Amino acid sequence: MNLKVRLIGDPILRKKAINVKNIDENFRKFLEIMTNMMYKEDGVGLAAPQIGISKRFFIMDDGNKLRKVINPEIIEFLGEEIVFEEGCLSIPGIFLNVKRPEGVRVRYIDENGNVVEEELHEYPARIFQHEYDHLEGILFIDKVSTASKAKLKGKIKDLMKEGRKIAKEMGEIDIYENSIYGNS
């Protein structure tokens, strides 16, 4: 299967994703495919909706640790809100300042089915929040001022047009369909 990063304008990026129910060997293979795709695209995170799958999982690598995050919850926001520049594979070429809490206490399931609870701060916390937002149908540009978005209106409009085109071509992907693993 030819997976593509979905662009703003694709309706799947605005849907609230549903929980993963089954973590099996095929699912773990898919997490590897997704991890390789994230690195190939020079990303630090990639959420399932960004590749056309409306399920609650994402991959993130903060430079110190690769996390495969399934059915995440943010238990608590920690610290002051800080402003930091963010970008997104689904909105390529656009980088804007976003205000987010400095830390988060989170709970999720890893690829082996273990429940993980941890506190993240600074860069790892920011990546987690950004990817978590994708599962909620929220994009980082939703968190910036109207004035910031207005400056990029033309570029965003072009990306949305391309995003709708890709959505039409690709549709929504079923991760439990054998053909995505090369097992036709």
What residues have CB less than 8 Å from 102, skipping those under 6 apart?
Answer: 78, 79, 80, 81, 82, 121, 122, 125
Fold of 11-165: Peptide Deformylase (3.90.45)
The neighbour count for residue 3, using CB atoms within 10 Å, is 16
- pLDDT tens for 59-74 read 999 999 999 999 999 9
**pLDDT of 180 strictly over 70:** no
pTM value is 0.91
- The domain limits of the chain are 11-165
Residues recognised as catalytic: 131
- pLDDT tens for 9-44 read 999 999 999 999 999 999 999 999 999 999 999 999
**pLDDT of 184 strictly over 60:** no
Q: What is the pLDDT of residue 83?
A: 94
Q: What is the pLDDT of residue 177?
A: 56
Q: What is the pLDDT of residue 96?
A: 93
- pLDDT tens for 79-131 read 999 999 999 999 999 999 999 999 999 999 999 999 999 999 999 999 999 99
**pLDDT of 178 strictly over 70:** no
Secondary-structure breakdown of the chain: helix, strand, coil percentages, each rounded to the nearest 5: 40, 30, 35
Q: What is the pLDDT of residue 179?
A: 44
